[in-house]
Every structure is written in C-alpha cells, then in structure tokens.
C-alpha cells in the first residue's frame, strides 16, 4: 500500500466522496440542541435562585411572581402534618416560612441549604418543588451507625453558609 503523501495534482482528481447526510443531520441536531441549551442558560441557569433576604427587594425576586428561593432549613423548624411539610428557611438573618405538599426528596433535613420553587401567598412561600443544595464537604460517618437525629446534628455542624 502506498502511504506516501499525495501531490496536489493527485488530490484534484480524487473522485468526490459521497456527502455524509448522517453527519449533516447530527450537526443540525447539535445546532438546534445547542440553541435550546443556550436559551435555557439565559432564562434559567444564569440566575438560578433568589436568596431568602432578596425576596421582595431584588429585581426578579418580586413577591408576587413564581420564583426559586434559596436558604438554609432552620434547625427544629421542620414539621410534617397531614401530608404536607412546613419549615423555615433562613439566609442573611432573614426568614421565610415554606409549605410543601408532600415529603421533600433528596437528603432534605435541618441545616441543609435548599432551593424551593413556588410563590409567596399571604406571607408564606407555597412550594411545589424542593431541591436540596448539599455542600461540597464530605465527612466520614462513624463506624457506629448514626440515627437520623445524629445525622441532622452533623449536617448542622457541617454546613457553613
């Protein structure tokens, strides 16, 4: 097999390869997908949440609109009653009472930062989605199995925000 570099004259008489329609289709899909992702970035990702202390004071965090609010679940504030969960979120010395229908998923617990989706109704934040914003700190669990209360106490000592 001849693998020596071709001269230009040789390259010009190479028969045209078939257009790769599959590659073109993938490029079109990537461009459309990229556009969708960029629009998501500009509308959602660039300003993902308002902190509790910004509700009603910062642009985009007005009290009457649907928003995402971030704060730390206050210790001893979580209560479960008739299938709904209520708790208080705090950030920069400001508090916000949250009502969520159901049991928040993830590693939801006291002293952990969460992002609640919903809107303010009569001073309470009615949330239909809770996301747990766990910290970047990882602490080994002791060999003796910890119960939930101990785990939450550990979470309170771990969180720094």
Partner 1 sequence: MQLDKTSPSGTGTPATRTLGVLVIASLIALSLFGLVFSAEDVVQGSTVRIMYVHVPSIWVAYMAFAFTAISSAVYLTAKNRSLGWDRFAGASAEIGVLFVAISLVTGSLWGRLTWGTYWVWDARLTSTAFLFITYIGYLAVRRLGGTHRQRARRSGVLALLAVLEIPLVHFSVRVWRSLHQEASVADKGTDVELDGLMLFSLFFGLVAFTLLFVWLVIHRQRTLWLEDAYADKGLDAAIVARREEAGV
**Closer by beta carbon to partner 1, 43 or else 122:** 43
Q: How far apart are the first and last CA of the chain?
A: 66
- Of 85, 90, 109, 127, which one interacts with partner 1 (CB under 8 A)? 109
CA distance 156 to 159: 6
Contact 48, 86 (CB under 8 A): no
- Of 7, 10, 81, 82, which one interacts with partner 1 (CB under 8 A)? 10
- Residue 115 makes CB contacts below 8 A (sequence gap 6+) with 48, 49, 68, 69, 70, 130, 131, 133
The answer to the question of residue 82 lying near partner 1 (CB under 8 A) is: no
The answer to the question of residue 72 lying near partner 1 (CB under 8 A) is: no
Q: What residues numbered 24-53 form the site for partner 1, per CB under 8 A?
A: 24, 26-27, 30-31, 33-34, 37-38, 40-41, 44-49
The answer to the question of residue 116 lying near partner 1 (CB under 8 A) is: no
- Of 58, 80, 84, 105, which one interacts with partner 1 (CB under 8 A)? 105
Please, what is the minimum distance in Å from the beta carbon of residue 122 to partner 1?
Answer: 26
Find how far residue 151's CA is from the centre of its chain. Answer: 23
* Buried/exposed code over 20-52 (b: 16+ C-beta within 10 A; e: otherwise): eeeeeeeeeeeeeeeeeeeeeeeeeeeeebbbb
The answer to the question of residue 59 lying near partner 1 (CB under 8 A) is: no
Contact residues: partner 1, CB under 8 A: 1-3, 10-11, 13-15, 17-20, 22-24, 26-27, 30-31, 33-34, 37-38, 40-41, 44-49, 70, 104-109, 112, 115, 129-141, 146, 151, 154-155, 158
């Amino acid at each position: 097999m001849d693998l020596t570099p071709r001269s230009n004259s040789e390259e010009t008489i190479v028969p045209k390869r078939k257009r790769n329609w599959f590659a073109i289709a993938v490029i079109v899909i990537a461009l459309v997908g990229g556009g969708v992702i960029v629009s998501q970035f500009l509308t959602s990702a660039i300003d993902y949440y308002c902190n509790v202390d910004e509700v009603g004071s910062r642009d985009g965090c007005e009290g009457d609109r649907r928003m995402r609010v971030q704060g730390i679940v206050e210790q001893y504030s979580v209560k479960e009653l008739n299938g709904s969960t209520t708790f208080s979120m705090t950030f920069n010395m400001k508090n916000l009472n949250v009502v969520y229908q159901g049991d928040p998923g993830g590693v939801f617990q006291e002293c952990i930062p969460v992002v609640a989706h919903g809107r303010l109704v009569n001073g309470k934040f009615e949330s239909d989605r809770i996301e747990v914003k766990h910290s970047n700190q990882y602490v080994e669990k002791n060999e003796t199995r910890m119960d939930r209360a101990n785990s939450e106490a550990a979470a309170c000592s771990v969180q720094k925000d």
